[in-house]
Homo-oligomer: A and B are copies of this chain.
Amino acid sequence: AAASDATPVDLSGYTRVKQELVAPPFAPKHEQVATGGPKIIEVTLETTEKLMVVDEDNGAEIWALTYNGSVPGPLIICHEGDMVEVTIRNPASSMMEHNVDFHASTGALGGGGLTHVYPGEEAVLRWKATKPGCFTYHCAPGGDMIPYHVCHGMNGAVMVLPRDGLKDRDGNALTYDSIAYIGEQDYYLPRDENGDYKTYAVAGDDYADSLEAMRGLVPTHQVFNGAVGALTGENALKAKVGETVLMVHNSCNVDSRPHLIGGHGNYVWETSFTDPALTGVETWFVRGGCAVAAMYTFEQPGVYAYVNHNLIIGVMLGATAHFVVEGEWDNELMEQVVAPRSFET
Protein backbone atom coordinates (compact mmCIF):
# COMPACT_ATOMS: atom_id res chain seq x y z
CA ALA A 1 0.00 0.00 0.00
CA ALA A 2 2.68 2.45 1.04
CA ALA A 3 4.60 1.82 -2.14
CA SER A 4 1.73 1.86 -4.63
CA ASP A 5 1.54 5.62 -5.19
CA ALA A 6 5.25 6.19 -5.01
CA THR A 7 7.54 7.09 -7.88
CA PRO A 8 8.95 3.96 -9.54
CA VAL A 9 12.65 3.60 -8.86
CA ASP A 10 15.20 3.62 -11.67
CA LEU A 11 17.38 0.55 -11.28
CA SER A 12 19.27 0.95 -14.54
CA GLY A 13 22.55 1.83 -12.82
CA TYR A 14 22.62 -1.39 -10.82
CA THR A 15 24.07 -4.79 -11.66
CA ARG A 16 22.16 -7.82 -10.38
CA VAL A 17 24.10 -10.52 -8.57
CA LYS A 18 22.97 -13.49 -6.55
CA GLN A 19 24.65 -14.01 -3.18
CA GLU A 20 24.79 -17.65 -2.16
CA LEU A 21 24.29 -17.59 1.57
CA VAL A 22 26.23 -20.08 3.69
CA ALA A 23 25.76 -21.41 7.19
CA PRO A 24 27.46 -19.67 10.12
CA PRO A 25 30.24 -19.23 11.23
CA PHE A 26 31.14 -18.74 7.57
CA ALA A 27 30.67 -15.72 5.33
CA PRO A 28 29.46 -15.61 1.74
CA LYS A 29 31.95 -14.83 -1.03
CA HIS A 30 32.42 -11.10 -1.23
CA GLU A 31 34.79 -8.29 -2.14
CA GLN A 32 36.29 -6.20 0.67
CA VAL A 33 36.69 -3.24 -1.67
CA ALA A 34 33.82 -2.93 -4.11
CA THR A 35 34.66 -3.11 -7.80
CA GLY A 36 32.33 -1.64 -10.38
CA GLY A 37 29.12 0.23 -9.69
CA PRO A 38 26.35 -0.47 -7.23
CA LYS A 39 24.70 -3.88 -7.21
CA ILE A 40 21.36 -5.39 -6.46
CA ILE A 41 22.25 -8.36 -4.31
CA GLU A 42 19.66 -11.11 -4.39
CA VAL A 43 19.36 -13.37 -1.37
CA THR A 44 16.82 -15.90 -0.23
CA LEU A 45 15.75 -16.50 3.35
CA GLU A 46 13.63 -19.55 4.11
CA THR A 47 11.83 -19.45 7.42
CA THR A 48 12.48 -22.93 8.74
CA GLU A 49 11.13 -24.28 12.02
CA LYS A 50 13.19 -27.16 13.37
CA LEU A 51 13.88 -29.05 16.55
CA MET A 52 17.45 -28.26 17.64
CA VAL A 53 19.58 -29.58 20.47
CA VAL A 54 20.75 -26.75 22.72
CA ASP A 55 22.87 -28.76 25.14
CA GLU A 56 23.44 -32.42 24.40
CA ASP A 57 24.72 -32.98 27.94
CA ASN A 58 21.33 -32.54 29.49
CA GLY A 59 18.77 -32.96 26.74
CA ALA A 60 17.88 -29.29 26.42
CA GLU A 61 16.28 -28.70 23.03
CA ILE A 62 14.16 -26.09 21.32
CA TRP A 63 11.80 -25.81 18.40
CA ALA A 64 14.02 -23.18 16.83
CA LEU A 65 12.63 -20.61 14.43
CA THR A 66 15.32 -19.96 11.86
CA TYR A 67 16.32 -18.35 8.63
CA ASN A 68 17.79 -21.02 6.35
CA GLY A 69 17.95 -23.58 9.14
CA SER A 70 20.71 -22.05 11.26
CA VAL A 71 20.96 -19.99 14.44
CA PRO A 72 21.96 -17.29 13.71
CA GLY A 73 20.57 -16.85 10.22
CA PRO A 74 23.12 -16.45 7.42
CA LEU A 75 25.42 -13.45 7.16
CA ILE A 76 24.57 -11.16 4.22
CA ILE A 77 27.33 -8.90 2.93
CA CYS A 78 26.99 -5.87 0.66
CA HIS A 79 28.56 -2.45 0.18
CA GLU A 80 27.18 0.98 0.95
CA GLY A 81 25.06 2.06 -2.00
CA ASP A 82 24.09 -1.48 -2.98
CA MET A 83 20.54 -2.74 -2.76
CA VAL A 84 19.61 -5.98 -1.06
CA GLU A 85 16.69 -7.83 -2.61
CA VAL A 86 15.41 -10.49 -0.29
CA THR A 87 13.03 -13.26 -1.13
CA ILE A 88 11.50 -14.54 2.07
CA ARG A 89 9.76 -17.89 1.78
CA ASN A 90 7.78 -19.64 4.49
CA PRO A 91 7.38 -23.37 3.78
CA ALA A 92 3.86 -24.72 3.80
CA SER A 93 4.95 -27.09 6.55
CA SER A 94 5.54 -24.21 8.99
CA MET A 95 3.28 -23.66 11.96
CA MET A 96 3.77 -19.91 12.18
CA GLU A 97 3.78 -16.59 10.40
CA HIS A 98 7.21 -14.97 9.96
CA ASN A 99 8.71 -11.78 8.53
CA VAL A 100 12.01 -9.93 8.60
CA ASP A 101 13.11 -6.55 9.97
CA PHE A 102 16.49 -5.35 8.71
CA HIS A 103 18.13 -2.81 11.00
CA ALA A 104 20.27 -1.79 8.02
CA SER A 105 17.23 -0.62 6.05
CA THR A 106 14.98 2.43 6.22
CA GLY A 107 11.20 2.46 6.58
CA ALA A 108 8.27 0.10 7.12
CA LEU A 109 9.62 -1.22 10.42
CA GLY A 110 12.82 -2.25 8.66
CA GLY A 111 10.78 -4.08 6.07
CA GLY A 112 8.96 -6.03 8.74
CA GLY A 113 5.71 -4.39 7.68
CA LEU A 114 6.07 -5.58 4.09
CA THR A 115 7.23 -9.17 4.56
CA HIS A 116 4.67 -11.00 6.70
CA VAL A 117 4.46 -14.47 5.18
CA TYR A 118 2.11 -17.19 6.37
CA PRO A 119 2.99 -20.84 5.79
CA GLY A 120 3.08 -21.41 2.03
CA GLU A 121 3.70 -17.72 1.23
CA GLU A 122 6.63 -15.76 -0.12
CA ALA A 123 7.39 -12.07 -0.55
CA VAL A 124 10.17 -9.98 -2.04
CA LEU A 125 11.60 -6.85 -0.46
CA ARG A 126 14.30 -4.57 -1.83
CA TRP A 127 16.10 -2.00 0.29
CA LYS A 128 19.08 0.25 -0.16
CA ALA A 129 22.09 -0.04 2.11
CA THR A 130 22.74 3.59 2.91
CA LYS A 131 24.63 3.20 6.18
CA PRO A 132 27.86 1.18 6.48
CA GLY A 133 28.16 -1.07 9.51
CA CYS A 134 27.08 -4.42 10.85
CA PHE A 135 23.36 -4.69 11.54
CA THR A 136 21.12 -7.33 12.97
CA TYR A 137 18.00 -8.60 11.21
CA HIS A 138 15.22 -10.55 12.85
CA CYS A 139 11.67 -11.76 12.76
CA ALA A 140 9.11 -9.36 14.24
CA PRO A 141 5.59 -10.65 13.65
CA GLY A 142 4.08 -8.28 16.22
CA GLY A 143 3.39 -8.14 19.95
CA ASP A 144 4.82 -10.81 22.21
CA MET A 145 5.60 -12.87 19.09
CA ILE A 146 8.52 -10.47 18.51
CA PRO A 147 10.63 -11.49 21.51
CA TYR A 148 9.34 -15.05 21.19
CA HIS A 149 10.67 -15.46 17.63
CA VAL A 150 13.90 -13.57 18.40
CA CYS A 151 14.55 -15.74 21.47
CA HIS A 152 13.95 -18.87 19.40
CA GLY A 153 16.87 -18.07 17.10
CA MET A 154 15.23 -16.03 14.38
CA ASN A 155 17.90 -13.41 13.82
CA GLY A 156 21.08 -12.82 11.84
CA ALA A 157 23.31 -10.07 10.48
CA VAL A 158 24.00 -7.93 7.45
CA MET A 159 27.42 -6.37 7.00
CA VAL A 160 27.39 -3.22 4.87
CA LEU A 161 31.01 -2.50 3.97
CA PRO A 162 32.21 0.93 2.87
CA ARG A 163 32.73 0.80 -0.90
CA ASP A 164 36.45 1.31 -0.44
CA GLY A 165 36.68 -1.19 2.42
CA LEU A 166 37.53 -0.83 6.08
CA LYS A 167 39.94 1.85 7.30
CA ASP A 168 41.67 2.81 10.49
CA ARG A 169 41.19 6.22 12.13
CA ASP A 170 43.82 7.72 9.83
CA GLY A 171 42.36 6.31 6.64
CA ASN A 172 44.75 3.40 6.15
CA ALA A 173 43.19 0.30 4.60
CA LEU A 174 42.40 -2.61 6.91
CA THR A 175 41.85 -6.04 5.39
CA TYR A 176 41.07 -9.44 6.81
CA ASP A 177 41.90 -13.01 5.85
CA SER A 178 38.70 -14.53 7.14
CA ILE A 179 35.42 -13.78 8.85
CA ALA A 180 34.17 -15.55 11.95
CA TYR A 181 30.45 -14.93 12.16
CA ILE A 182 29.17 -15.52 15.65
CA GLY A 183 25.59 -15.19 16.79
CA GLU A 184 24.84 -14.98 20.48
CA GLN A 185 21.50 -16.44 21.40
CA ASP A 186 19.68 -16.21 24.68
CA TYR A 187 17.26 -19.09 25.27
CA TYR A 188 14.68 -19.30 28.04
CA LEU A 189 13.81 -22.98 28.08
CA PRO A 190 10.82 -23.99 30.18
CA ARG A 191 11.38 -26.57 32.89
CA ASP A 192 9.02 -28.91 34.62
CA GLU A 193 8.51 -29.22 38.39
CA ASN A 194 11.63 -31.47 38.59
CA GLY A 195 13.76 -28.88 36.87
CA ASP A 196 14.00 -30.93 33.68
CA TYR A 197 13.68 -29.20 30.34
CA LYS A 198 10.27 -29.70 28.85
CA THR A 199 9.77 -31.10 25.39
CA TYR A 200 7.13 -30.06 22.89
CA ALA A 201 5.56 -31.78 19.89
CA VAL A 202 5.71 -28.94 17.38
CA ALA A 203 7.00 -25.40 16.96
CA GLY A 204 4.90 -22.94 18.89
CA ASP A 205 3.67 -25.37 21.51
CA ASP A 206 6.08 -23.83 24.01
CA TYR A 207 4.62 -20.35 23.55
CA ALA A 208 2.94 -19.75 26.91
CA ASP A 209 5.71 -21.47 28.88
CA SER A 210 8.38 -19.55 26.99
CA LEU A 211 6.81 -16.16 27.61
CA GLU A 212 6.66 -16.91 31.31
CA ALA A 213 10.33 -17.91 31.36
CA MET A 214 11.37 -14.92 29.25
CA ARG A 215 9.69 -12.44 31.56
CA GLY A 216 12.25 -13.27 34.26
CA LEU A 217 15.00 -11.98 31.94
CA VAL A 218 17.45 -14.71 33.01
CA PRO A 219 18.30 -17.11 30.19
CA THR A 220 18.72 -20.80 30.87
CA HIS A 221 21.24 -20.88 28.02
CA GLN A 222 23.20 -18.21 26.21
CA VAL A 223 25.15 -19.74 23.39
CA PHE A 224 27.09 -19.04 20.23
CA ASN A 225 25.70 -20.37 16.97
CA GLY A 226 22.68 -22.07 18.39
CA ALA A 227 24.00 -24.65 20.82
CA VAL A 228 26.51 -25.27 23.58
CA GLY A 229 29.75 -26.31 21.90
CA ALA A 230 28.76 -25.26 18.39
CA LEU A 231 32.12 -23.53 17.96
CA THR A 232 34.42 -25.61 20.16
CA GLY A 233 36.19 -28.97 19.82
CA GLU A 234 35.77 -30.30 16.28
CA ASN A 235 33.85 -27.15 15.41
CA ALA A 236 36.55 -24.72 16.59
CA LEU A 237 37.51 -21.89 14.29
CA LYS A 238 40.94 -22.09 12.66
CA ALA A 239 43.62 -19.52 11.90
CA LYS A 240 47.38 -19.08 11.54
CA VAL A 241 49.78 -16.68 13.20
CA GLY A 242 49.88 -13.53 11.08
CA GLU A 243 46.35 -13.96 9.81
CA THR A 244 43.68 -11.39 10.48
CA VAL A 245 40.18 -12.43 11.43
CA LEU A 246 37.12 -10.20 11.38
CA MET A 247 34.78 -11.34 14.13
CA VAL A 248 31.20 -10.33 13.31
CA HIS A 249 29.15 -10.75 16.44
CA ASN A 250 25.37 -10.58 16.35
CA SER A 251 23.30 -10.34 19.51
CA CYS A 252 19.73 -9.53 18.72
CA ASN A 253 18.32 -9.33 22.22
CA VAL A 254 20.84 -9.25 25.06
CA ASP A 255 23.94 -7.21 25.73
CA SER A 256 27.22 -9.02 25.35
CA ARG A 257 30.81 -8.28 26.25
CA PRO A 258 33.02 -10.38 23.96
CA HIS A 259 36.61 -11.03 24.97
CA LEU A 260 39.22 -13.05 23.09
CA ILE A 261 41.20 -14.82 25.81
CA GLY A 262 44.88 -14.40 24.99
CA GLY A 263 44.16 -11.78 22.31
CA HIS A 264 42.53 -8.40 21.83
CA GLY A 265 40.32 -6.38 19.58
CA ASN A 266 42.89 -4.52 17.48
CA TYR A 267 40.06 -2.64 15.76
CA VAL A 268 36.50 -2.75 16.99
CA TRP A 269 33.51 -1.13 15.35
CA GLU A 270 30.83 -1.17 18.05
CA THR A 271 28.48 1.26 16.37
CA SER A 272 29.09 1.70 12.64
CA PHE A 273 31.81 1.85 10.02
CA THR A 274 31.41 5.64 9.89
CA ASP A 275 32.71 5.97 13.44
CA PRO A 276 36.44 5.44 14.05
CA ALA A 277 37.27 1.91 15.19
CA LEU A 278 38.17 1.50 18.82
CA THR A 279 41.69 0.15 19.24
CA GLY A 280 43.54 -2.20 21.57
CA VAL A 281 40.35 -3.26 23.30
CA GLU A 282 40.38 -5.91 26.00
CA THR A 283 36.62 -6.56 26.00
CA TRP A 284 34.16 -4.96 23.65
CA PHE A 285 30.43 -4.41 23.95
CA VAL A 286 27.46 -5.53 21.91
CA ARG A 287 24.31 -3.68 22.85
CA GLY A 288 21.34 -6.04 22.66
CA GLY A 289 19.90 -5.54 19.17
CA CYS A 290 23.21 -5.05 17.38
CA ALA A 291 25.87 -6.63 15.28
CA VAL A 292 29.46 -5.44 15.68
CA ALA A 293 32.79 -6.19 14.03
CA ALA A 294 36.15 -6.72 15.72
CA MET A 295 39.45 -7.33 13.92
CA TYR A 296 42.43 -9.19 15.31
CA THR A 297 45.74 -10.40 13.88
CA PHE A 298 46.99 -13.49 15.70
CA GLU A 299 50.52 -13.21 17.10
CA GLN A 300 50.86 -16.50 18.95
CA PRO A 301 49.85 -20.10 18.27
CA GLY A 302 47.52 -22.00 20.57
CA VAL A 303 43.90 -22.06 21.59
CA TYR A 304 42.02 -18.81 22.09
CA ALA A 305 38.64 -18.82 23.78
CA TYR A 306 36.23 -16.18 22.58
CA VAL A 307 33.74 -15.63 25.38
CA ASN A 308 31.03 -13.43 26.74
CA HIS A 309 33.11 -12.13 29.66
CA ASN A 310 30.34 -12.33 32.12
CA LEU A 311 32.05 -15.62 32.79
CA ILE A 312 28.96 -17.19 34.28
CA ILE A 313 27.33 -16.65 30.91
CA GLY A 314 30.46 -17.50 28.96
CA VAL A 315 31.26 -20.73 30.76
CA MET A 316 28.12 -21.94 32.51
CA LEU A 317 25.43 -20.74 30.10
CA GLY A 318 27.44 -21.59 27.00
CA ALA A 319 28.75 -18.44 25.27
CA THR A 320 32.20 -19.78 24.34
CA ALA A 321 33.89 -20.34 20.98
CA HIS A 322 37.44 -21.51 20.30
CA PHE A 323 40.02 -20.41 17.76
CA VAL A 324 42.84 -22.89 17.16
CA VAL A 325 45.84 -21.02 15.79
CA GLU A 326 48.95 -22.57 14.25
CA GLY A 327 52.37 -20.97 13.99
CA GLU A 328 55.54 -20.15 15.84
CA TRP A 329 55.58 -19.15 19.49
CA ASP A 330 57.06 -15.71 20.22
CA ASN A 331 59.02 -15.66 23.45
CA GLU A 332 59.27 -11.89 23.40
CA LEU A 333 55.52 -11.53 23.73
CA MET A 334 55.26 -14.18 26.43
CA GLU A 335 57.53 -16.73 28.06
CA GLN A 336 57.05 -19.32 30.72
CA VAL A 337 60.26 -18.48 32.58
CA VAL A 338 59.67 -21.12 35.24
CA ALA A 339 57.20 -23.94 34.71
CA PRO A 340 55.11 -24.86 37.74
CA ARG A 341 57.35 -26.45 40.38
CA SER A 342 57.30 -27.09 44.11
CA PHE A 343 58.73 -24.44 46.35
CA GLU A 344 59.93 -24.54 49.93
CA THR A 345 58.43 -22.09 52.39
Q: Which residues of A contact B (CB under 8 A)?
A: 2-3, 5-9, 85, 87, 89, 91-92, 101, 103-118, 120-128, 130-133, 135-136, 140, 143-144, 146-147, 150-151, 211, 214-218, 252-255, 257, 259, 261-264, 268, 271-275, 278-285, 287-291, 299-305, 309-317, 328-343, 345
A111 and B281 alpha carbons, distance in the complex (Å): 18
What 9 pairs across the A-B complex have the smallest Cβ distances? A289-B309, A107-B300, A124-B338, A272-B280, A124-B337, A147-B311, A114-B336, A131-B280, A6-B329
- A136 lies within 8 A of B341 (CB): no
A3 and B334 alpha carbons, distance in the complex (Å): 8
A332's partner among B110, B128, B257, B312 (CB-CB below 8 A) is B128
A107-B329, A118-B340, A262-B109 known; A282-B135 Cβ under 8 A: yes
A312-B217, A342-B121 known; A104-B282 Cβ under 8 A: yes
A340-B116, A343-B122 known; A334-B111 Cβ under 8 A: yes
A330 and B9 alpha carbons, distance in the complex (Å): 8
A274's partner among B110, B218, B280 (CB-CB below 8 A) is B280
Which of A216, A268, A273, A290 lies at the interface centre, i.e. has the most chain B CB atoms within 10 A of its CB? A290
B contact residues around A340 at 8 Å (CB) = 115-118, 121-123
B contact residues around A342 at 8 Å (CB) = 120-122
Residue of B nearest to A92 (CB): B345
A121-B342, A123-B341 known; A283-B287 Cβ under 8 A: yes
B contact residues around A262 at 8 Å (CB) = 101, 105-110, 112-113
- A257 lies within 8 A of B315 (CB): no
B contact residues around A289 at 8 Å (CB) = 257, 259, 282-283, 309-311
Residue of B nearest to A140 (CB): B261
A343's partner among B7, B8, B121, B147 (CB-CB below 8 A) is B121
- A280 lies within 8 A of B125 (CB): no
Minimum CB–CB distance from A240 to chain B (whole Å) comes to: 14
A290 and B310 alpha carbons, distance in the complex (Å): 10
Minimum CB–CB distance from A103 to chain B (whole Å) comes to: 4
B contact residues around A280 at 8 Å (CB) = 131-133, 271-275
A89 and B340 alpha carbons, distance in the complex (Å): 9
Minimum CB–CB distance from A246 to chain B (whole Å) comes to: 18
A-B contact pairs, 18 of them (CB 8 A): A2-B301, A2-B302, A3-B329, A7-B330, A7-B331, A8-B331, A106-B263, A117-B340, A122-B341, A122-B342, A123-B338, A125-B334, A136-B282, A146-B311, A217-B218, A255-B257, A274-B280, A283-B290
